[in-house]
Homo-oligomer: A and B are copies of this chain.
């Protein structure tokens, strides 16, 4: 019974996700679903994306949080369109929430949308939002063993950002082991090492974005 309900929810979500994806394709928009644990650096990674690629791409950000709008205010202060979705307790965004948000954007004039999903390594990985690419952030402070415990998200993503590499000297994080565990789960997936605090790797992140979202407008 419980499984039945979940199946129905996922099927209904999938059909809305497909419609979102078609709408984006019609308008030549790239949409990235950015997922991570709480505090892994999602907002900082988006700020670096705006700083690094904002001149070349017309960007918009959809901020998903259970509560608060601190993140969308931060993004708006950078003169970038930011839509806040408060899930009111729900632990992930859904395709329907994104569909509502897309109605508020001028898609013909947009190259790239970054969605900041709710901070959670579990449920967001199960819900297709209609994105064109999935990116996750792993923080060095979380340790290199997280792919063992949250395998689905590591399998599902198109790219892994390892953030907070400035903390490597102080954390139990073996980059070689991390890379080999991730490669087992998701062979060939790209991994970019990043420090938003010190700026290391932000050029690689911008280049990845520019490659993913060829500008079509502006």
Contacts and interface: CB of A to CB of B under 8 A. Distances in A.
Interface in A118-163: 118-123, 126, 139, 141-143, 145-146, 148-152
A213 to B, nearest CB: 27
Contact of A149 (B9, B119, B122, B146): B119
Say how many copies of this protein the assembly contains. Answer: 2
A9 B3 CA distance: 12
Contacts of A121: 38, 119-120
A140 to B, nearest CB: 8
A67 interface: yes
Contacts of A5: 5
Contact of A66 (B65, B89, B122): B122
Nearest to A172: B197
A119 B37 contact: yes
A164 interface: yes
Interface string A62-103: 000111101000000000000000000101000000000000
